[in-house]
Amino acid sequence: APLLEVSLPLYFGWFLLSSAQDKVKCMALDFVKTLDTLDAFKKHLMDFTGKAEAEVDLEHYFKAKGALHCTTKFCNYGKADGAKEYAQNPAIKDFYGSVSELSLSALFVTPRTVGARVSLTEEQLQLWPADAEKEAESAVPAAASLPPGSRAHVTLGCADGVEPVQTGLDLLEILALQQEGQQGETVEEMELGGLAYYGAGRWLLSLREPIVAPACFSSYYG
């Protein structure tokens, strides 16, 4: 096939610059290590292990997956719905290669994933696909009623056998609960912010001061 036909990447997204990657990885590691020591977490260990009296070493429970980034559009080399249309949006070309600051506003942990919520600016939302939340509807029914950008996140780690696409779904689940009026059970004021439990092994740390992470809008071909 002519080369021009195969020019779509695996995905587009913001890639954290290396200094920001180190900072975020450090904070995430601190967070899971601290979470592991809390009585509130131990009380709900069943969520992670499936059995009472078991122990979990959160630090090694999650495996990191490559360079830290916030996916905007998963294109799957053009096979994903809307990939071509997304790549043709003039905003994508305009911002390609530009660096902006990602605001990481919360960290979350579930039995499947650990991630950071990204709060996008109006400008960054121009690069956000219109149907990103709706596409998650089969996994999280309330997703389509959440504001655009709700799914934006950085995957920090996945449990064995879990694919990173799960991180955004886990975030949407928590946000859907919040939208229904559940604020979670506040369990602890940590140094970084308030920690809340949403049941079924879902923990959210709302950062008092967002982590600011410079990131380059680009794409990944693999």
Question: 9, 27, 48, 69: which is the annotated catalytic residue?
Answer: 69
In the annotation, is 60 catalytic?
no
Least distance between ligand 2AM and beta carbon 13 (Å): 7
State the DSSP code for 191: S
Residues of this chain that interact with ligand 2AM (CB under 6 A) are 10-11, 71, 74, 155, 164-165, 167-168
Write down how long the chain is: 222
Residue among 129 and 210 whose Cβ is closer to ligand 2AM = 129
Residue among 126 and 166 whose Cβ is closer to ligand 2AM = 166
Question: For tokens 């506003």, what's the residue?
Answer: 105
Least distance between ligand 2AM and beta carbon 126 (Å): 18
Cβ contact 113:159 at 8 Å: yes
Alpha-carbon span 115 to 157, nearest angstrom? 7
| DSSP-based three-state secondary structure for 23 | helix
Least distance between ligand 2AM and beta carbon 177 (Å): 19
Alpha-carbon span 98 to 145, nearest angstrom? 30
Question: 153, 192, 204, 217: which is the annotated catalytic residue?
Answer: 153
Catalytic residues: 69, 153
